[in-house]
Amino acid sequence: MLERVPLLEKDLADYADVAGPEAVERICALAEPLRGARILHLNATAYGGGVAELLATHVPLLRSVGIEAEWQVIHGSDEFFTVTKAVHNALQGADVEWTSDMQRTYLEKVLDNALLLEGTYDFIVVHDPQPVALLTFLHDTAVDTPDMRWIWRCHIDLTDANPEVWEFFRPHVERYDASVWTMPEFVPSSLEMERVVQAPPCIDPLSVKNLDLPAPFVTEICKQYGVDTRRPFVCQVSRFDPWKDPVGVIEAFRVIREKVPDAQLVLAGSMATDDPEGFRVWEQTEEARAGDKDIHLLSNIQQVGNVQINAFQRAADVVLQKSIREGFGLTVSEGLWKGRPVIGGRAGGIALQVRDGLDGYLVDSVEECAHRTIELLEDPATADTMGANGREHVRKNFISTRELEDWLRLFTELQP
C-alpha cells in the first residue's frame, strides 16, 4: 500500500478568533452534507515544500468537520524524482529534452504506485505532475468506482509550459473530473475540461511557523544562528530551487550593502525529498555567498525548522521572495502575516499576495529588488505600515479556513 502520512489533530473552532465565527459557521454548514465522505489526498512528499505544508493543515481540518480524510504519498526513486523535477522545470518554461526513456521511467513508477492504491473513496485529490497518471492506470478498475470523483490540483505556473512536455501530460489531466489552479492565467488554452477551478492556497495562522512568538525568544533564536537583530536584516525563505533565484537575491544584497553597510541576509529553506536539484542549487548559492559572514545560508541540515523560520521572518526588516516563476509562494503570505513588508518577483501567485506599493513591492530585476529594499530599510515607518496592511490582506484572503471553504464547495458540486 501507499505510505499514509500521520497527522496531528486540529480543531476548526480554534480558528474562530482569526477567521471570525461567521467563517467557522459557513464551513460547518458546507461540511454537513459531506459528513462521512471518504477523501484521499495524494502527492509526492510528506516533507519540504508548500504542498506538504498545505496538506498538514487541510486534512486535519477536513477530519475536524466530520469527513474521513487521509493523506498518502507515492513511492519514488532517485531516477523518478530526477525526471519529475525536469518535468516541473519544463512546465514552468525551461527548455528540457523530453526523451522516451524519461517518459518510460515516469510511467513505470506511476504504474507501480497505482498497483499499491487500496480502499474506496468518494474523492481522490492528486497534487501536481508526479502522480497525475495514476488515474490513467486505474480507470475502470475496482479502485475507480462509478461514483468516485478525481480532482487534479496543479500548484505550478504553466503560463509558458514546454509544449512537448505539456502535451504528454494533458491527456492524463483531462481524465479527471475537475482541475484546480492557483490562477486562471496558469491554465493552458489547450486543456479541454468541463470543470476548471481557481483556488489559491493559504497559510495556517495557527501552525508553529505562523504562531506569535515573544520578542526575546525571536532574538535568541536569531542569535543562535549568528544573526544580530540590532542590525538591518532581510531574509528569503524558500526551497533551494533555481526559480526562487537565491543567487539573484545575493546579487541584490550586495547592492543593498553599498547603501546599508551593516545589513545582513538570511537565505533559509528546507530540502524537499522529491527535489534532487536542491543540493546543486545549494552549492551554487554557497559559491555565490563566497564566505561572506553576513550572508547566512541555512536549511534543515542546520536544524532550521518551522520555529526558526518563524523567528527569522518576524525579525526581518524586509522579507524577500525574488522568484522568477512561482506557483503561489506561501512564504509571501507568511511574511505579511508577521507584519513585515514583502518584496517579491512579479511572478505567478506573488502578485495575488503583494499589492504593489501597499503591502510591499513587486520587482522585475536585481537592481529594482535592491532599490526597493533600501527604500524600506531607510524608512522603517513605511515598512511597518505596509506590513500591517499585508497582515489584514492575508487575514481576509489567504488563511486556511478560506481554502477549506473552497474545497468543500467543490466536493459538494462534484457529488454524484
Cβ neighbours of residue 62 under 8 Å, at least 6 residues apart? 39, 69, 404, 407
Same domain, 187 and 244: no
Q: Average pLDDT in the 200-219 region? A: 96
pLDDT(48) > 70: yes
**pTM score:** 0.93
Domain identity same for 13 and 100 = yes
| pLDDT for position 276 | 72
The span from the CA of 38 to the CA of 119, in Å, is 10
* Structure confidence at residue 220 (pLDDT): 97
Residue 134 in any domain: the answer is yes
d(CA 202, CA 11) in angstroms, rounded, equals 17
41 by DSSP, 3-state: which?
strand
CA–CA separation, 127 vs 152, rounded Å?
A: 6
Half-sphere CA count of 153, side-chain side, radius 13 A: 25
Residue 142 maps to a domain: yes
Same domain, 197 and 247: no
Q: Quick one: 392 and 249 in the same domain? A: yes
State whether 236 and 321 are in the same domain: yes
Domain identity same for 373 and 269: yes
- Mean pLDDT, the chain, integer: 95
Same-domain check for residues 378 and 404: no
The reply to whether 120 falls in a domain is: yes
Is 210 a member of any domain?
A: no
Does 209 reside within a domain?
A: no
CATH code of the domain in which 62 resides:
3.40.50.2000
72-81, 165-174, 271-280, 363-372: which range is least confident on average? 271-280
What average pLDDT does this structure show over 329-349? 97
Choice between 395 and 280, residue whose per-residue pLDDT is larger: 395
Confidence of residue 237 (pLDDT cuts 50, 70, 90): very high
- Whether residues 187 and 93 fall in one domain: yes
When pLDDT is cut at 50, 70 and 90, the band that residue 139 belongs to is confident
List CB contacts of 332: < 8 A, sequence separation 6 or more. 319, 321, 342, 344, 349, 350, 353, 354
Asked, for residue 381, whether it belongs to a domain, the answer is: yes
The whole-number pLDDT of residue 330 equals 94
Confidence of residue 382 (pLDDT cuts 50, 70, 90): very high
Give the separation between CA 359 and CA 200, rounded to whole angstroms: 18
Residue 54: pLDDT band (50, 70, 90) is very high
Co-location of 198 and 233 in the same domain: no
287: which DSSP letter? H
Do 169 and 258 lie in one domain? The reply is no
Cell 515598512 maps to which residue? 383
Residue 275 has pLDDT above 90, yes or no: no
Q: Residue 273: is its pLDDT beyond 70?
A: no
Residue 1 pLDDT class (50, 70, 90 cuts) = confident
Total domain count, the chain: 2
Of the pLDDT bands very low, low, confident and very high (cuts 50, 70, 90), residue 144 is: confident
Is the domain of 227 the same as that of 153? no
Beta-ladder partners of 89: none
Question: What are the residues facing 38 on neighbouring strands?
Answer: 68
Give CA–CA dist 115/101, Å, rounded.
Answer: 21
Given a contact cutoff of 8 angstroms between Cβ atoms, the answer to whether 293 and 317 are in contact is no
Q: Is 46 inside a domain boundary?
A: yes
Residues 281-303: what's their mean pLDDT?
A: 92
How far apart (Å, rounded) are the C-alpha atoms in residues 124 and 152?
Answer: 9
Tell me if 207 is assigned to some domain: no
Average pLDDT over residues 126-147: 89
User: pLDDT higher for 47 or 212?
Assistant: 212
Concatenate the DSSP letters of all residues of 77-134 into one string.
-HHHHHHHHHHHHHHTT------HHHHHHHHHHHHHHHTT--S--SEEEEESSTTTTH
Question: In this predicted model, what pLDDT tens digit does every residue of 341-367 receive, in sequence order?
Answer: 999 999 999 999 999 999 999 999 999
The predicted pLDDT at position 272 comes to 66
Q: Which of 193, 153, 157, 168 is nearest to 71 (CA)?
A: 153
Size (the chain), residues: 416
**CA 344 to CA 346: how far, in whole Å?**
6
- Residue ranges making up the domain that contains 371: 215-397
The verdict on 165 and 229 lying in the same domain is no
Kindly tell me if the per-residue pLDDT of 278 is higher than 90.
no
Q: For residue 203, what is the DSSP state?
A: B
Write down the pLDDT at residue 229: 96
What percent of the chain clears pLDDT 90, i.e. is strictly above it? 90
Q: Would you state the pLDDT for residue 274? A: 62
